C-alpha cells in the first residue's frame, strides 16, 4: 500500500519514510516483522541504518537502529558473510553504530552519576534530619512528661 502524497510531502526521503514505519512497529512485534523480511530487503534496510544514525534523531533512533541491526545480523548472518556486496554496507554500519552506542553509553553513565549524586544528597539531608530528630525527640518527651 502506497502512502498518501500528503504524507510523503512531510518526509524528506525514502529513508525517513522507512524510519517512521520501523519506529511505528511495537518492540514486541519487530522481531516477527523482521523474520518475514527477505534477505534482499533486509540488506536494503541495513543500508538505511547508517543514514538514520548519521542524521541524528536522538537516542530513540540509535536504539531502534541498534535493535534492527542486531536482529537482522542474527537472522541473516550466513547470507551476509557469503555476500561480497554486503561488506561495504556492514562496514558503514559498524562505524555508525559504534559512535551511536558510545553516545548512549555516555548518556547512561552521566545519568547514573547524577542519580548517585542525588542519592548522596538525599542521604545527607535525612542524616542531618535524623540526628536532629534523635536529639529533639527525647527532649520533647521529657517536656511532655512534666
What's the domain range around 94?
5-109
Say what the pLDDT of residue 34 is: 92
Q: Is residue 137 part of a domain?
A: no
Say what the pLDDT of residue 118 is: 94
Q: Report how many domains make up the chain.
A: 1
Q: Is residue 38 part of a domain?
A: yes
Compute CA distances 53 → 40, 46, 73, 111, 123, whole Å: 21, 11, 17, 22, 40
Say what the pLDDT of residue 74 is: 94
Say what the pLDDT of residue 11 is: 57
Q: Is residue 64 part of a domain?
A: yes
pTM for the model: 0.68
Q: Is residue 126 part of a domain?
A: no
Taking the chain (146 residues) in runs of 10, the rounded mean pLDDT of each run is 59 80 88 92 93 76 89 94 92 91 92 94 75 67 73
Amino acid at each position: 500500500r502506497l502512502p498518501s502524497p500528503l504524507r510523503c510531502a512531510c518526509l524528506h526521503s525514502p529513508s525517513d519514510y522507512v524510519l517512521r514505519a520501523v519506529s511505528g512497529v511495537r518492540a514486541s512485534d519487530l522481531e516477527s516483522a523482521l523474520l518475514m523480511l527477505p534477505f534482499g530487503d533486509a540488506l536494503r534496510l541495513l543500508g538505511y541504518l547508517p543514514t538514520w544514525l548519521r542524521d541524528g534523531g536522538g537516542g530513540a533512533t540509535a536504539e531502534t537502529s541498534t535493535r534492527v541491526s542486531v536482529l537482522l545480523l542474527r537472522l541473516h548472518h550466513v547470507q551476509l558473510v557469503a555476500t561480497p556486496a554486503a561488506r561495504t554496507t556492514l562496514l558503514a554500519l559498524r562505524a555508525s553504530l559504534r559512535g551511536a552506542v558510545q553516545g548512549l553509553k555516555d548518556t547512561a553513565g552521566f545519568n547514573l552519576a547524577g542519580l548517585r549524586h542525588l542519592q548522596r544528597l538525599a542521604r545527607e539531608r535525612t542524616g542531618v534530619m535524623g540526628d536532629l530528630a534523635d536529639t529533639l525527640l527525647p527532649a520533647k518527651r521529657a517536656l511532655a512528661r512534666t
